Structure 1
Amino acid sequence: MAEIRIRNTDERITGEQNVRQFLENQEVLYEHWNAEKLPSNLKDKFILSDEEKAEILSTFDEEIRDLASRRGYKTWDLIALSDATPNLDELLKKFESVHTHTEDEVRAITAGKGIFVIKGSEDVGYFDVELEAGDVISVPETIPHFFTLMENRQIVAVRLFIETEGWIAHPFEDPEFSKAK
């Protein structure tokens, strides 16, 4: 289940309803899918064949199509990252800069853990959303953010897009942002 850490105060928000309410107030969609429906052989697997990726997408097909129809997403794929990913550190450096997009950034976590760092309202400032299997988040296109891995450096996530070629990142320079973990 997702947890939130407010960076300015180190306050933690836990519990699905509390997390959902906080994120809704920040204009961020949060949902939770049943990660237990994933076949056991894929629950902790982070190096995936094309067939295994297709099996994960098929397992969550109903949830993906429901979210896509409600939010206007037209295409989706699966990303798997771990220490076995070639050039992982370079990829993470690219991810770990605050930016906005031309459309929502959506992640449905099917295995592992990830974190969104999001610029909240003026009274909140930056906050971290720590995600694990079953958590689904959609950060609106205009909200500065970035997504990265947590300490375990392993994640499998469904990404949904409105544009068939995917979203385009626009750097967001912000003197208020600090990389504190």
Structure 2
Amino acid sequence: MAEIVIRNTNERISGEENVREFLKKQEVLYEHWNMDKFPADLQEKFQLSDEDKQRILDAFDPEIRDLAARRGYKIWDIITLSESTPNLEDLLQKFEEVHTHSEDEIRAIVGGKGIFIIKGSEDVGYFNVELEPGDVISVPENTPHFFTLMDNKQIVAVRLFIEENGWIATPVADPQFQ
């Protein structure tokens, strides 16, 4: 279950309803998928074949199509990152820069863990959203944020896009980021 850490106060928010309520106030969508559907033989696998990725997409097809219908997504895929990912540090460096997108950035975590760092309202500032399997989050368009992995450096996530070009970031120099 997702947890939140407000960066300037170190306040921690936990519990699904508390997390959902906080994120809603920050205009961030949060949902939780039932992970019982996730193929057991893929649960600890972070190097996935195209067939493995398709099995994950098939398992969550109703949830993906529901999100796509509600929010206008046209394409989706699976991203997987781990210590065995070629150029992992270069990829993380790209992800770990504060940026925005012209569409919301949505991820459904199905394996491993990750953290979105998001700029909230003026009274909150930046906050971390620590995500684990089942957590679905959508950062609103034009909201400064970035994503990184947790210490184990392993994640599998479903990504959904409106733009057919996929992930396009605009860097943001924000002196408020700490």
The aligned amino acid for 2:60 is F
1:162 alignment partner in structure 2: 162
Question: How far off is 1:174 after superposition?
Answer: 0.6
Native 8 Å contact 1:100 1:169 kept in 2: yes
Q: Provide the aligned C-alpha RMSD in A.
A: 0.6
CA distance in 2, matches of 1:149, 1:99: 16
Question: Is 1:152 matched up with 2:152?
Answer: yes
2:23 alignment partner in structure 1: 23
Native 8 Å contact 1:99 1:172 kept in 2: yes
CA distance in 1, matches of 2:140, 2:42: 30
Deviations 1:112-157 (A, max 9, x none): 0010000000000000000000000000111100011111100000
5+ residue gaps, structure 1, are none
CA distance in 2, matches of 1:72, 1:167: 16
2:5 alignment partner in structure 1: 5
Question: How far off is 1:167 after superposition?
Answer: 3.5
CA distance in 2, matches of 1:65, 1:148: 26
Q: TM-score, normalised by structure 1?
A: 0.97
The aligned amino acid for 2:64 is I
Question: How far off is 1:165 after superposition?
Answer: 1.3
The aligned amino acid for 1:85 is T
Native 8 Å contact 1:102 1:167 kept in 2: no
SS in 1 for 2:158: strand
Q: Provide runs of 4+ in structure 1 moved above 3 Å.
A: none
**Range moving further from structure 2, 160-169 or 8-17:** 160-169
2:111 alignment partner in structure 1: 111
Q: Between Structure 1 and Structure 2, how many residues are aligned?
A: 178
CA distance in 2, matches of 1:21, 1:166: 29
CA distance in 1, matches of 2:120, 2:96: 17
SS in 2 for 1:168: coil
Q: Percent identity?
A: 72
Question: How far off is 1:164 after superposition?
Answer: 1.2
Aligned residue runs from structure 1 range 1-181, under 5 A:
1-178=1-178
Deviations 1:72-92 (A, max 9, x none): 111100000000000000110
SS in 2 for 1:36: helix
CA distance in 1, matches of 2:67, 2:124: 28
Q: TM-score, normalised by structure 2?
A: 0.99
CA distance in 1, matches of 2:88, 2:167: 20
CA distance in 2, matches of 1:162, 1:113: 24
